[in-house]
């Protein structure tokens, strides 16, 4: 039986592309445990710029329009995620519980990264998990790029002036989330 060298080359290219996609997904998705890291922006020689957070505006899945301006004077938790990211899925119930406890003191907004998953799959995913805090799809990845988020999940903590005070990269446990929210509320 004669083998087609062109067919083998195409199969190898597809295999290399698949391996590349898996590697990119693994890097972008962060870790699958709660060993995330937190950086206090502006403290101890941080390399991140202290200043007003980039705008967050858009139509949420179930809460209408969201913008930082609508939450003037209130700290804000901004969580970047996508449905096919296992650590994102693992932390969402803890974020929901925190929302239920802190909603009167902290505004919550979820930002769904698009590309792998569609807005429709994101809305369905949130409904299946019982997530009720405001979440919007990041069309064109404009919010993600403005916040320089390239690992998922990532959670930003904005103070009452909407300056970025902390960035948590990787999955966040319920205990770490509560600690960060208490710091945010106290500030």
pLDDT tens figures, 131-154: 999 999 999 999 999 999 999 999
Tokens, residue 145: 């790029």
DSSP state of 108: E
pLDDT above 50: residue 49: no
Give ∠ CA 97-130-163 in degrees, rounded to 5: 50
Which pair of structure tokens corresponds to residue 6? Answer: 């062109």
Check whether 103 has a pLDDT greater than 60.
Answer: yes
pLDDT band (50, 70, 90) for residue 24: very low
Q: Is 44 left (phi over 0), alpha (psi -120 to 50) or beta?
A: left
Q: Which residue has the higher pLDDT, 97 or 27?
A: 97
- Report the chain's terminal Cα–Cα distance, integer Å: 74
Is 31-186 a domain of CATH 3.30.70.100?
Answer: no
Question: Domain locations in the chain?
Answer: 1-30, 31-186
Tokens linked to 185: 């509320």
Using alpha carbons, select from 104, 110, 51 the residue that is nearest to residue 83.
Answer: 110
Peptide bond into 157 cis (omega under 30): no
* Average pLDDT value for the chain: 84
pLDDT at 1: 58
pLDDT (tens digit per residue) in 51-71: 689 999 999 999 999 999 999
């Amino acid at each position: 039986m004669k083998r087609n060298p062109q067919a083998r080359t195409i199969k190898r290219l597809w295999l290399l592309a698949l391996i590349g996609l898996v590697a990119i997904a693994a890097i972008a998705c962060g870790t699958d445990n709660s060993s995330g890291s937190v950086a206090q922006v502006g403290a101890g020689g941080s390399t991140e710029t202290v200043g007003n957070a980039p705008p967050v505006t858009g139509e949420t899945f179930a809460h209408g329009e969201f913008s930082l301006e609508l939450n003037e004077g209130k700290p804000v938790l901004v969580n970047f995620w996508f449905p096919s990211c296992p650590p994102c899925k693992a932390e969402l119930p803890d974020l929901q519980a925190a929302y239920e406890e802190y909603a009167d003191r902290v505004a919550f907004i979820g930002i769904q990264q698009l590309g792998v998953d569609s807005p429709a799959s994101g809305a369905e995913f949130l409904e299946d998990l019982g997530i009720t805090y405001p979440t919007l799809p990041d069309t064109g990845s404009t919010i993600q790029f403005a916040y320089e988020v390239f690992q998922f999940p990532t959670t930003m903590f904005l103070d009452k002036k909407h300056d970025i005070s902390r960035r948590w990269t990787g999955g966040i446990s319920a205990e770490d989330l509560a600690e960060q929210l208490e710091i945010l509320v106290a500030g």
